Amino acid sequence: MKIYFDGCSNTVGSELKDPLNTRFSKLVCNHFNAEEYNIGQVSGSDRRMARNLLEHDLTQYDMFVIQLTQKARSEYWCERDKRWKVLRHLLKEKDQTDHYKMQVANIWKNFLKNVYTDELGTSNQLIYYTLMKILLKDRPHVIIGIDFFHEFFIGDDNNISAPVDIRYKHGNPKRLNGKIVRSKTKKCIPRYDGGHPTVEGHRYIADDIIEWFS
């Protein structure tokens, strides 16, 4: 059995000390005794996830878990390097001497500032979500969404708007005697300072996915 996972840094396991063993994809695969195929990418976009599904032979996987992300994100085809890349409006210091990357980053920053609106992001996310549902309609799958707080231009409008199967919102989970009270109406996961799920948060997400498929 092989399970397909795609998403952003949340699915990669960012901020975890031992991501390969404690991220939700690994926990789900351990439960089902399945091979983990995790192609999540830090700063990955919904568009990338949609394209990935179109580029894969879906018959090779038994289950699919797709984690939608910030809807203002996107990607571009880099002619120079001949590969798809994340559209970033901020670059790491080491990339700031790369004139081409700086040009792309500046254009994307202006796009987010001048062109991007919540209506556009919501419409795009619904299109990608619909594509995923169409491609996976005859296969066991779950589409989850994790709200995030990063994006200095956009704020709360960057939250998940597509009708995902399971959505994790901002905020701290309610606890009773230290244990998380699992809510069906508002799911919140414990997060690290950078906003990614903690080890406990990944366990929470994994348990939801296992329950979904069981």
Partner 1 sequence: MKIYFDGCSHTWGSELTDLNSRYSKIISNYYDAEEYNIAERGGSDKRMVRNLLEHDLTQYDMFVIQMTGKNRTEYYYNGWKKVNWNTIFYKVDFKGKDSVSKEIKQTWHDYYTLIHTEELADSNQLINYTVIKGLIEHKPHVIIGIDNSDKLPLNFSYNKDLPRAKGGHPSELGHNKIASDIINENLL
Q: Would you say 21 or 110 has its CB closer to partner 1?
A: 110
User: Smallest distance, Å, CB 99 to partner 1?
Assistant: 11
Residues from 78 through 97 that contact partner 1 (CB under 8 A): 79, 87
Residues from 101 through 140 that contact partner 1 (CB under 8 A): 103-104, 107-108, 110-111, 114-117, 119-120, 123, 126-128, 130-131, 134-135, 137
Lookup: tokens for 128 = 């990608």
The answer to whether residues 104 and 91 touch, using CB atoms and an 8 Å cutoff, is: no
Q: Would you say 6 or 208 has its CB closer to partner 1?
A: 6
User: Smallest distance, Å, CB 9 to partner 1?
Assistant: 23
Which among 61, 15, 17, 16 has a CA at the least distance from the CA of 39?
61
Q: Where are the beta strands (DSSP E) in the chain?
A: 2-6, 35-38, 63-68, 75-78, 83-86, 141-146, 166-169, 175-176, 179-180, 187-188
Which among 54, 2, 59 has a CA at the least distance from the CA of 28?
2
The answer to whether residues 132 and 50 touch, using CB atoms and an 8 Å cutoff, is: yes
Residues from 42 through 71 that contact partner 1 (CB under 8 A): 47, 50-51, 54
Q: Would you say 74 or 198 has its CB closer to partner 1?
A: 74
Number of residues forming the site for partner 1 (CB under 8 A) = 29
Measured from the Cβ of residue 111, the count of other Cβ atoms closer than 10 Å reads 15
Binding site for partner 1 (CB under 8 A): 47, 50-51, 54, 76-77, 79, 87, 103-104, 107-108, 110-111, 114-117, 119-120, 123, 126-128, 130-131, 134-135, 137
